[in-house]
Amino acid sequence: MPTVIENAVALLRQGELVAFPTETVYGLGADAANADAVAKIFAAKGRPADHPLIVNLPGDDQLERWARAIPDAAYELAEAFWPGPLTLILKRQPNVIDAVTGGQDTVGLRVPGHPLALELLRAFGGGVAAPSANRFGRISPTAAQHVRDDLGGSVAMVIDGGACSVGIESTIVDLSGAALTILRPGMIVAADIGRVLGRVPSDARVDAPRVSGSLEAHYAPRTPLSLLPADAVIFAVREALAKNERLAVLAPMLCPISDDLIVWLAAPSDPGPFAHALYANLRALDALGCARIVVQKPPASQAWSAIADRLQRAAAGSG
Ligand code: TXA
Ligand code: MG
């Protein structure tokens, strides 16, 4: 009997889609050198064709196959954080297909930190283009069942590796120009990068290449979601009771009122566990069919910046 990984590699070689776990979120993988296979990703996700994909690699020894004019900083970050939740944007090699880069002169590269992802990539021996395995604009999947729920019929295989440990998408750092910029915040924060490089990246998104994660309506539940300070969460509970409406809440404090109309999920008070559970919590709250979801605003510190970013987008795109 072939193993799961052997099967998955065979499907990738045939140009089919394989969803697989990474430490951030599940990826929807295709052979990054096969334009027909990559086209299937866009069809399955319903994603606009000019949105570039991240190429997942088995190790940093393959960087030069995909990128050129690689600055020392890229090797230093790869050494410090790979395998792990960091994506580097670099100048692309001319042979990298346009379907992957969205026609841009750059390519996004990452070595994911999940053992099954690494096993798959090593056995495949090349680059696997893999966006998050959700329909475009919806909540990213952190469990195999989320992928089946979203993309079921359009994926040849879903490798089930359990819940993703990090739980939100990788930090994206642009190293393709003179400026060092974070294009998408993640659990590796600016200060972590600063400690390695001796200079801190800026968060400016101005003039940056287009990143689909920076669209307002992204990571969005169907139920209207608001991000509120603690006192406003309590007020929303009172208001829901007064209106006889069902309300879903994600907050670290104790539920002030026990009532069937209020569904209260306890939010972890530390950013790591909060991020780990965030998308599964949003999916669970969204599935309740409540009139509203309210989430207590996270602290303003850098450790929470990626979570705050995802929650703001979820609020902007919800409903
Ligand atoms: O954690 C992750 O990065 C997950 C897992 C599956 O690896 N992947 C992921 O992929 O989040 P996706 O496609 O959902 O988001 C990738 C982001 C997009 O916002 C895309 O625009 C950006 O990376 N991106 C890819 N290549 C780029 C490039 N050359 N320049 C600028 N942004 C790029
Ligand atoms: Mg995505």
Question: Ligand 1 pocket by C-beta < 6 Å: which residues?
Answer: 22, 24-25, 27, 51-54, 87, 89, 101, 104, 106-108, 110, 112, 130-132, 169-170, 172, 183, 209, 211-213
Which residues crowd ion ligand 2, with CB under 5 Å?
132
Ligand 1 center to 282 CA (angstroms) = 21
The pLDDT of residue 276: 98
Whether residue 155 contacts residue 17, with contact meaning beta carbons closer than 8 Å, is answered with yes
Strand partners, 250: 265, 295
Residue 218 has pLDDT above 80, yes or no: no
pLDDT tens digits for range 158-174: 999 999 999 999 999 99
The preferred substitution site among 25, 47, 54, 176 for testing ligand 1, maximizing ligand atoms within 8 Å of CB, is 54
CA proximity to 197, closest of 71, 70, 11: 71
pLDDT tens digits for range 177-207: 999 999 999 999 999 999 999 999 998 554 3
The pLDDT of residue 212: 47
pTM score of the predicted model: 0.95
What does pLDDT average to over the chain? 93
CA proximity to 18, closest of 311, 190, 9: 9
> Average pLDDT of 147-167?
95
- Least confident range from 212-216, 232-236, 268-272: namely 212-216
pLDDT tens digits for range 4-35: 999 999 999 999 999 999 999 999 999 999 99
Atom of ligand 1 minimally distant from the CA of 104: 29
Rounded CA-CA distance 5/260 in Å is 45
Ligand 1 center to 248 CA (angstroms) = 30
Domains of the chain: 4-203 (3.90.870.10), 225-317 (3.40.50.11030)
- Angle at Cα 100 formed by Cα 147 and Cα 165, nearest 5°? 40
